[in-house]
Structure 1
Amino acid sequence: MNGKKLQQLAAECAEGLPGTALEYPFGPEWDVHKVRGKVFMLITDVTGEPLVILKSAPDEAAALREQHAEITPGYHMNKKNWITLHAGDTLDRGLVEELVTDSYRLVVAGLPKAQQPVDPAIYAQADQAPR
């Protein structure tokens, strides 16, 4: 998957999630996707390469980095809790959508219950197959 397609797919997936907003707090070169004011995805080309940056559980992030050369530690983020997606052959539509949704669910789970737009324990679980 090329970089622009990767970014477009991630953005489309994020736009379909409940309670999300697209903001530009770091300038026009950073698309910042938030749920209830909390960041769950960043999209940028500031390095000269199209990137998608997502929150990930630490153990999951480590496993993903081992399995996919296109997944590296989070660019300008906590390297333990964030991952960066680069263009490449091992990233397909299903995996990108799953990673965006997982990032969203992790952030929603950290919100006070009254602010959660969905129940993160069950949201999108039916669509997810084991990796």
Structure 2
Amino acid sequence: MDKNRSDLNSRSLYSYCLTKPGSIEDYPFGPDIIVFKVASKMFALLSHRNGQDNLALKCDPEYSEVLRQHYPSITPGYHLNKRHWNTILLDGSVPEREIRGLIDHSYELVYQSLPRRKRAEFQADW
């Protein structure tokens, strides 16, 4: 996959993460890893490692296994809880529509774990 296509995909996914209610970007691990959070809880990490863009997302453990079997570019979370996180190599092998759905899934898992009072602040509307 060419670098320009990867950059476009990363920019599009970056923008999509920020559309989630209450979403902010943060850099707690340094300038090379963009962390997307809702109410101080991570739901996505965008990074560039080994010449490739990567997106780490929280995921239901059983669904994680299905995704990993179906897409070779989805692997256990890099430097994260491998049961609850996946890392997606943004090489074009996973359709962007599918990745957006996985971002939604990750956000929803984190959002639903928030106290009811905190969830009400964001009025998430999916």
TM-score, length basis structure 1: 0.84
Structure 1 residue runs of 5 or longer lacking an equivalent are 125-131
* 1:73-88 → structure 2 map (5 Å cutoff): 73-88=76-91
Equivalent in the alignment of 1:102: 105
How many Å separate the matches in 2 of 1:40 and 1:108?
Answer: 9
Asked if 1:91 is matched to 2:89, the reply is: no
- Identity, in percent, stands at 31
- Larger proportion of strand: 2
Of 56, 59, 63, which residue of structure 1 is paired with 2:59?
56
What's 1:72 paired with? 75
Q: Tell me the CA shift for residue 6 of structure 1.
A: 3.3
Separation of aligned partners in 2, 1:33 and 1:107: 11
* TM-score computed with the length of structure 2 as normaliser: 0.87
Q: What runs of 5+ residues in structure 2 fail to find an aligned partner?
A: none
Partner secondary structure for residue 52 of structure 2: coil
Cα distance in 1 for partners of 2:46, 2:92 equals 19
Ranges of 4+ aligned residues in structure 1 off by more than 4 Å: none
1:11, distance to aligned residue in structure 2 (A): 1.0
